[in-house]
Amino acid sequence: MRLKWHGHSCFSMTFEGGVAVVTDPFDRTVGYPLCRARADIALVSHDHFDHNHVQSLSGTPEVIRDGAPREILGLRIRGVDSFHDAEGGARRGKNVMFVVEGDGLRVAHLGDLGHPLDEKQIEALGAPDILLVPIGGTYTIATPEAVALIRAVKPHTAIAMHFKTVLCGFAVTDEREFVRLARAKYLPNALEITRETLNELPAAGVMLCPPAR
Report the CATH number at residue 148.
Answer: 3.60.15.10
- Inside any domain, residue 209: no
Q: For the CA atoms of 16, 99, 97, 172, what is the dihedral angle to 10 degrees?
A: -50
- Inside any domain, residue 207: no
- Inside any domain, residue 121: yes
| CA–CA distance, 105 with 107 (Å, rounded to integer) | 6
Question: What pTM value is reported for the model?
Answer: 0.96
Band (pLDDT 50/70/90 cuts) for residue 213 is very low
Band (pLDDT 50/70/90 cuts) for residue 208 is confident
Residue 111 has pLDDT above 50, yes or no: yes
- Inside any domain, residue 102: yes
pLDDT in tens, 159-195: 999 999 999 989 999 999 999 999 999 999 999 999 9
Number of domains in the chain: 1
Mean of the pLDDT values across residues 126-153?
Answer: 97
| DSSP class of 203 | S
- Inside any domain, residue 94: yes
Percent of the chain with pLDDT over 90: 94
Decide: 112 and 30 in contact? Cβ < 8 Å. no
- Inside any domain, residue 212: no
Question: Domain range spanning residue 172?
Answer: 2-202
- Inside any domain, residue 117: yes
- Inside any domain, residue 210: no
